[in-house]
Structure 1
Amino acid sequence: MRNISDIIEQHLKNILQQGDGAVEIQRSELADKFQCVPSQINYVISTRFTVEKGYLVESKRGGGGYIRIRKIEIIDNKRFYHMLMEAIGQSITSAACDNIIERLREEGIISPREMHMMKAATGRVISAVPVPVRDRLRADILRAMLTAIFIY
């Protein structure tokens, strides 16, 4: 059985697909609809609708406040490549790395097989590396793979 976070995420993604790639919601209304606390909505949005996953989230607090979620469309591979490089920076967590790799698969840039290979190369295999170095090494590996995908 799916949990409430999965259900809320799927609901928002359905709205995004049916519309123009953007959804504007009020946190309290969505919490009422799913009979959960508003912080649950915050959790779903902050963990499931990240830049690495291809979403831009804007919010306005207050009485007429809203949360706007937009799917970031890839218009130009060169620009997308540079955006990914900027997002990776000098280090990247395992979760953020997986999100980027999954986005590449969703966009059809890599195959399922390539996705699994990239996750294997940036995942547990580097767990033997000391923690302070691990995220930097993961970033180096991911940047090298992205360069091979987009440049060559």
Structure 2
Amino acid sequence: MQNRNISDIIEHYLKDILADSQQIEIKRSEVAEHFNCVPSQINYVIKTRFTIPNGYIVQSKRGGGGYIRIAKINLIDDTDILDELTAYIGSSISATRGFQVVQSLYEEKLLTQKEANLILTTIDRGTLAFSEKKLEDAVRARILINILERLRCAD
């Protein structure tokens, strides 16, 4: 254990508790006291180790009755597809290429036909009828990238 720093130890401790349930609720000050560290160390561990891409969602309430709630979420099995598509989209994408992205998601069974059609309507040229094509392509890219981020987490 001598090669592990306090952040690793706190992370392991919280993950051990989470192994028994889908969600935990902790008091930052109590955990900090348990490890004889400052409460900001607990914040650091939670912000860097318990993120959505790592399979966790965090909620907190500040104040006297405050808490930090950490819940496990299910990530889709193959995030490589989403990473490739995110890189492909970049900061700008045409309507034609946007259609191809949605088609790929549908073919990979990450979207139902209804979901794919709703997304296609959202990113369509007629919907994003900006006077500047560059702006239209940038907004389309943002929409698609946000959808991909949501797909990383399954209900």
TM-score, normalising length: structure 1? 0.50
If each structure's helix is expressed as a fraction of its own residues, which one has the higher value? Answer: 1
Which protein, 1 or 2, shows the higher relative CO under an 8 Å CA cutoff with sep ≥ 6? 2
User: Which has the greater radius of gyration?
Assistant: 2
